[in-house]
């Protein structure tokens, strides 16, 4: 595999950090406007951010399985099959929990923070 698993892992992590840092240069949101009323820059950013995020997730999942393939000669086919099964279970569980949060409403971390911390300290 020529250490492609490690290289892909570094690329995935770099893209994750890029996603987080991109939030600092994100165009401001127009108050009271829906997505159609936002500036072109903001709409382009939103689409690019969402798309890159999905690509990063897919690459991360792919990299998990390349890692399992890399370890197969060392741990054997049976143990690598167990790790593959655990990885699939974790992916499914993450998808189910994410869907439930999206369906029934999640939690707003900023709002929870505002309620917990007095306004005088902000």
Give percent of the chain above pLDDT 70.
83
Structure tokens at 59: 């690459």
Chain mean pLDDT for the chain = 85
pLDDT of residue 44: 87
pLDDT tens digit sequence for 35-81? 677 788 888 888 899 899 999 999 999 999 999 999 999 999 999 99
pLDDT of residue 103: 79
pLDDT at 34 over 80: no
Alpha carbons 57 and 85: distance in angstroms, whole number? 18
pLDDT of residue 25: 87
| Confidence category of residue 121, pLDDT binned at 50, 70, 90 | low
* Domain boundaries along the sequence of the chain: 4-121
CA angle (58, 14, 43) in 5-degree steps: 70
């Amino acid at each position: 595999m020529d250490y492609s698993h490690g290289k892909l892992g570094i690329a995935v992590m770099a893209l994750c950090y890029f996603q987080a840092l991109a939030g600092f240069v994100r165009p401001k949101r127009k108050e009271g406007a829906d997505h159609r009323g936002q500036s072109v820059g903001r709409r382009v950013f939103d689409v690019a951010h969402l798309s890159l995020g999905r690509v990063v997730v897919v690459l991360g999942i792919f990299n998990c399985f390349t890692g399992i393939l890399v370890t197969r000669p060392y741990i054997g086919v049976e143990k690598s099959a167990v790790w593959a099964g655990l990885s699939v279970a974790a992916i499914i569980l993450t998808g189910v929990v994410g869907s439930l949060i999206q369906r029934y409403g999640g939690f707003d971390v900023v709002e929870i923070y505002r309620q917990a911390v007095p306004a005088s300290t902000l």
